Every structure is written in C-alpha cells, then in structure tokens.
Structure 1
Amino acid sequence: MREKYVIIVAGGSGSRMNSDLPKQFLLLGNKPVLMHTIERFSASSSNPKIIVVLNESMRSYWEALCLNHNFAIPHTIIHGGKSRFQSVKNGLQEIFKIETNRLEEVGVAIHDAARPLISTKLIDECFLALREHSANIVAVQSTNSVRIGVPSKSESIDRDQVWIVQTPQTFNARLLNDAFMQPEHASFTDDASVVEKLGYPIHIIKGDHKNIKITFEDDLKIAQMYLQLLQT
C-alpha cells in the first residue's frame, strides 16, 4: 500500500451508558476515550492518515476538548450520517476525493471509536494483511458454549466455528468503493458484511480479548483496569 488511512467511526450516542454524553467523549483515565483511540493509530508503525467521523452536533464539543487537553494529533473531521453505513461512506468519500486515480494502492482501516485499547501491533498486522488479502477483520473465537435459535427452540453449535468480530477491519480502497455503491441493507452489521455482499471472501486475523468495545457502564471500568495494566 502506497497510502494508508483509518476511518474512526465516532457518531454513536450514550444511550446504553445511561449518559447524555456519547461514550467516545467520556473520560478514560485523564482524557476522552476517542483520544486514546486516535493515539493508538498515530503510534502504530503503519501511521495511517486519520479521519474521524463525528455527529455534526458534536463537532464544536470535540474541538473544545482538543483545546482543553492540548490534543494535537492531526486528524480530519467528517460529519456522520444517520447510520453506520452512511457515516463510513462519508469518510470514504473524503479518501476517494484525495486518492481518485490510485485506489488500488490505498489501504483503509475502519475502527470503532469506542475501542480505545487496540494494540499498535494488531493495527500493523491488519494493514500488513492487505498484502495478501483485500478484506480483513479482527475477531476472537468464542470461549463460551453457543446456541442458535429463539428461547423456545434452540440448538448448540460448535463454538470453535464461532468468531466474535472486532475492529479494525482493513480493505483495499477500490473494493470499498465498489461495496459502498450498494444500497444500504439491514444485513450490513459491519463493514465486512458490506464487502461480503459483493461475494468477496473475508480473511480473519486473530484478535485480542482486551480490545473491548465500550458499550455499557461496566465496560468503562474494565477498560480503566486494562489501561492501568498497560501503563505499569
């Protein structure tokens, strides 16, 4: 890849955190979650150009946070859409505008803002995987017994065949350009599912159980414990 980008999707709300403030702006340690996430990508050997997709209403709040925390890592802010699909598409359009004539040579990572503990090593593995695979996801195998069905009728499935998907997910930019020309569909639960709809295979990179997504209040406490361990 001649050029690398990461789209950090930060348009979520704080509904499941019992907070009026979206989770990516809550403090983890002494600074907002989103700053930790940006720092991880900036510190990686891949050092991708960083695009942050924000809800338009939160832009001024984020800019004030950056001033208050003396946060100066370069990043481009793009306004999000009404769904993740639309938000990612907005971020991609910024890349396509810059890299119009060489999309085949561009690698793009897409990452949840609320996964601030992603390791720089894993980030680099995801970009390196683009040398052999056009679509990559980070995932961990289930450690629990798994059943599929509804409460009244279910059946067990082999947990060794079950993967819990994380981010980042990395793709060739040309592939993403084709994939995000599709109409949005309810089956698009992540970016890999958009690409998969076109028939492309998805390569799995073994993830890290510490790469948690902060969704509920207890997740923030767990992330704080992991962060303290990383700093000791």
Structure 2
Amino acid sequence: MSAVTEKQPRYAVIVAGGAGTRMGTEIAKQYLPIGGIPVLMHTLTRFHALDPGIQLYLVLPEADFSFWKNLCERYAFAVPHRLVKGGKTRFCSVRNGLESISGASGLVAIHDGVRPFVDVQVILRSYEVAADVGSAVAAVPLKDSIREMLGSEKSVYRNRSQFRLVQTPQTFQLSKIKKAFAAGEQDFFTDDATVFEHMGWEVCLIPGNPENIKLTSPEDLDFAEYLLKKRKSSV
C-alpha cells in the first residue's frame, strides 16, 4: 500500500436507492437475501473486510430507514455505517452521500449497493490509484462483438478492444469529486466518472473483476447464489 494512501482518510458511499422493479419482487433488490443475508450486507462487508477504518455511508430512500434498521437487528449486522437520505436521481443520491462527509480531503469510493461481488483487491487498488492521479474507475473488457446502430435498421462494426464495460467502485480524491457534484446535474451524466470528467479532469481506468455484476434480474440472483457457493467451496 502506498504511503500516500496511508495518510489519507478513506470513505465509501454505497448507493442503494433503486426500487428493483425489474426484479419482480415485493421488496427492493438491495434487501433480497443471497446466501442467507441481504445483498447490501454483503456489499458493506466487502469494504469493511478491506479496512475496518473505512467510513461507510449507505444511501437509501428515507422511507426505508426503519426497514433497514430492522434488518440489521434481525441479522445481527454489526458493520458500522451511517445512513444518508437518497435523492430523486442517482446523481442526487451520490451528492447527498458526498455532502454527508464532513472531511474536506481524503479518498472516496462510490459503489453500487447491488454489486456485492467486488473484489477486495479492486477496492484497494482504486484507493491507491486515486490517491496518485485523482480517479480510479473499475472496468472490464468486452467479451462479445459489438455493433453501433445508425438509425433503426443500419448498424456498423466497432472494435471491441477499444471499449470497456464500466463498473463500480469509482474512486476519487474527495475534494475534486465534491466540487464536481456541486457544479450541478447534466442530462448526459451516466455515472460518477462522467461527472468528474465534465470538470476537465481525466478518468483513469483500473481492471475490475468480471464477477462484480450489478444484480438486476431474477437470473442475476441465481448467479449470485452460485458465486457464493463457489467462494465457500474454495475457502
């Protein structure tokens, strides 16, 4: 671990404001159990496993606060974290999380709450690289061929080696990403890296891990159970 990283406080904003409509369940996907405990608990535990000193901020819809606290009691979940009220959009939710951090400097990882399989080494690397260059965004190569649509019927080949699938965590120097989010939301923002880049700063990509999928559909939950079983069998 670099000395630069050691000296800076580390934060993580875990964003989980979705309703999970595509999952087709009565409760939001972030609260669904995999391996016997809710998805969000797996996600928070990954960051805590890297460094118990990381200050965790969990952004949820305010209406879910009591429900989440009850889940924590039911599952005896003891990873320290602070609840933050979510916003109308993901941008607003992340901004609320950043504004809840009282510190002016340090490193902050922004991560989707429904990505519980992020590798701890990816998280560590994101903090190290962001400390050095300002940003570190996890990404993986494409496996399938891709084509760009030109209208409703015509398409053209694109070289997949020149593209990456972007994941989270997306980690930044705290002062810079706070400034970027304070500048306001734009329609073309698709993730935190886009907000950062809009300020004229370069986004640095780091290798992510393929298992770090975003749980969206019922099939994803089946795959999540498989990954958990595979992890346990390899221990």
Same fold (TM over 0.5): yes
Residue deviations 1:168-191 (CA, integer Å, cap 9, x gap): 010001111210112211111100
- Please name the residue that 1:36 is paired with: 42
Residue 212 of structure 1: how far off its partner (Å) = 0.7
- Please name the residue that 1:60 is paired with: 66
SS at structure 1 position matched to 2:182? coil
User: How many pairs were matched up?
Assistant: 226
Residues 131 and 173, structure 2, Cα contact 8 Å, conserved in 1: no
Residues 80 and 86, structure 1, Cα contact 8 Å, conserved in 2: yes
Residue deviations 1:50-105 (CA, integer Å, cap 9, x gap): 0000001111000000000000110000010000000000000011xx214xx2xx
Structure 1 unpaired stretches of 5+: none
The CA distance in 2 between the partners of 1:52 and 1:45, in whole Å, is 16
The CA distance in 2 between the partners of 1:12 and 1:87, in whole Å, is 10
- Please name the residue that 1:24 is paired with: 30
The CA distance in 2 between the partners of 1:151 and 1:206, in whole Å, is 34
TM-score by length of 2: 0.93
More off after superposition, 74-83 vs 141-150: 141-150
The one-letter amino acid of 1:125's match is: R
The CA distance in 2 between the partners of 1:199 and 1:190, in whole Å, is 15
SS at structure 1 position matched to 2:231? helix
Alignment of 1:141-160 (within 5 A): 141-149=141-149, 150-160=151-161
Of 13, 35, 44 in structure 1, the residue corresponding to residue 19 of structure 2 is: 13
Task: Give the RMSD, CA atoms, in angstroms.
Answer: 1.1
- Please name the residue that 1:173 is paired with: 174
The CA distance in 2 between the partners of 1:231 and 1:181, in whole Å, is 42
Residues 45 and 124, structure 1, Cα contact 8 Å, conserved in 2: no
Structure 2 unpaired stretches of 5+: none
Residue deviations 1:112-134 (CA, integer Å, cap 9, x gap): 00000111111111111123220
Residues 148 and 157, structure 2, Cα contact 8 Å, conserved in 1: yes
Residue 45 of structure 1: how far off its partner (Å) = 3.9
Residue 46 of structure 1: how far off its partner (Å) = 7.5
The CA distance in 2 between the partners of 1:35 and 1:45, in whole Å, is 16
2:117 maps to 1:117: yes
The one-letter amino acid of 1:108's match is: V
Residue 151 of structure 1: how far off its partner (Å) = 3.6
SS at structure 2 position matched to 1:160? helix
Give percent identity, aligned residues only: 39
Residues 13 and 22, structure 1, Cα contact 8 Å, conserved in 2: yes
Residue 135 of structure 1: how far off its partner (Å) = 1.3
